[in-house]
Amino acid sequence: MDKNIDVVTVGHALVDIRIVVNEFPTIDLESKVLNQSWGSGGSAVNVAIGVRRLGMKSSLIARVGFDSFGRIIVDELLREGVDISGLRIGFTQTGFTIVAINNRGEIMMYGYKGAAEELVPDDISEYAISRARWMHIASLRLDTTIRAIELARKHGLTISWDPGRVLASQGLSNLKDVVANVDYIMLNEKEARLMTGIDDYREAAKVIANETSAVILLKRGSKGVHVLSKEYTGEIPAYLVENVIDTTGAGDAFASGFITGILRGYTLRKAVQYGNAVAALKIKKLGSHQVPQHDEVVEFIWEREQG
């Protein structure tokens, strides 16, 4: 099979409804919406679009409903050039997330997963996987995650995994089959704590590393990324960003950049720095997948290094 797709993403496809307000209202009060945006979201969609914008080919395996929200997702994926041969359509309503952001950058979210959570193991397209070089699994139920990994291993893909809070809360003992069979684990501090029960992120990373040979990439927001691997272990700082607009999707932006960097042949440290730059540029815009073009990222990094 010709490997004509760089990255296949597997996970949630949702519609994001974003509103910006000065203050969150209390009960029975209204807060004026200063800015708003609608569009596709969910980690798998975000990473697929991010990879595409950074100059590589991507495809998506996910489930949406046969409704107007599903159409929003399909239209945007097609417009961005993401292959949707692995997309499944059912009669459960397409999931959505309502995100409210106040003037301090704080976020309040309401989520309905809908069809996204109904992506079952038999829905995983072996055809879509066989065409790709890399698989990124994000916020996906356990049985479907295991099936996706089996098919990725069969076809020789590199696998990265972002558990999300729901799966992380199942604990490391229940996730060992996943942890042991992926190449990169990307999770944030809260997910590491949920998975291990350990507050110190460095110690949590070590406990996870004991169960796998995977590279651990522990995302710490504005503090950067803690890396634990045979090649390099340590902190790689984030880029300082002024005028932060929307931090949702920053972790997915990082994943898009890191994966793209590794596929471009970057060293582990350079790929993390590239991912950090992608995330820094994303959070200056409203929307969960407002990832820049590759040339913008290179220019951003060059300017910071000159400064």
Structural domain contains residue 222 = no
Cα separation values, 196 from 102, 168, 186, 192, 206, Å: 32, 9, 15, 6, 10
The pLDDT of residue 290 is 83
Which has the minimum average pLDDT: 105-119, 204-218, 261-275? 105-119
Stated pTM of the model: 0.95
The number of distinct structural domains making up the chain is 1
Structural domain contains residue 203 = no
Are β-strands 233-236 and 5-11 bridged in parallel, bridged antiparallel, or unpaired?
unpaired
Render pLDDT for 78-100 as a digit per residue (tens, 0 to 9).
999 999 999 999 999 999 999 99
Structural domain contains residue 174 = no
Q: How far apart are the first and last CA of the chain?
A: 46
Question: In this predicted model, which residue has the larger pLDDT, 1 or 146?
Answer: 146
Structural domain contains residue 191 = no
The pLDDT of residue 2 is 78
Are β-strands 233-236 and 225-228 bridged in parallel, bridged antiparallel, or unpaired?
antiparallel
Residues 134 and 170: their CA atoms lie apart, in Å, by: 26
Q: Is the dihedral of CA 141, 286, 252, 190 positive or negative?
A: negative
Structural domain contains residue 178 = no
177-198: average pLDDT: 97
Angle at 181 between CA 185 and CA 220, to 5 degrees: 5
Coil, helix or strand at residue 270: helix
Render pLDDT for 6-15 as a digit per residue (tens, 0 to 9).
999 999 999 9
Residue 211: pLDDT band with limits 50, 70, 90: very high
Q: Residue 295: which CATH number?
A: 3.40.1190.20
Query: Nearest CA to 298 among 268, 250, 266, 252?
Result: 266
- Scored b (16 or more CB within 10 A) or e, 211-245 reads bbebbbbbbbeeebbbbbbeeeeeebebbebeeeb
Residues 176 and 163: their CA atoms lie apart, in Å, by: 12
Render pLDDT for 41-91 as a digit per residue (tens, 0 to 9).
999 999 999 999 999 999 999 999 999 999 999 999 999 999 999 999 999
Domain extent for 136: 5-24+34-162+238-306
Residue 153: pLDDT band with limits 50, 70, 90: very high
Structural domain contains residue 283 = yes
Residues 86 and 128: their CA atoms lie apart, in Å, by: 6
The pLDDT of residue 289 is 72
Structural domain contains residue 10 = yes
The pLDDT of residue 1 is 61
Q: Which residues contact 298 (CB under 8 A, 6 or more apart)?
A: none
Structural domain contains residue 155 = yes
Query: Nearest CA to 14 among 80, 82, 63, 78?
Result: 63
Cα separation values, 178 from 6, 204, 261, Å: 22, 17, 24
Render pLDDT for 13-36 as a digit per residue (tens, 0 to 9).
999 999 999 999 999 999 999 999
Render pLDDT for 104-149 as a digit per residue (tens, 0 to 9).
878 899 999 999 999 999 999 999 999 999 999 999 999 999 999 9
The pLDDT of residue 287 is 72
Residue 173: pLDDT band with limits 50, 70, 90: very high
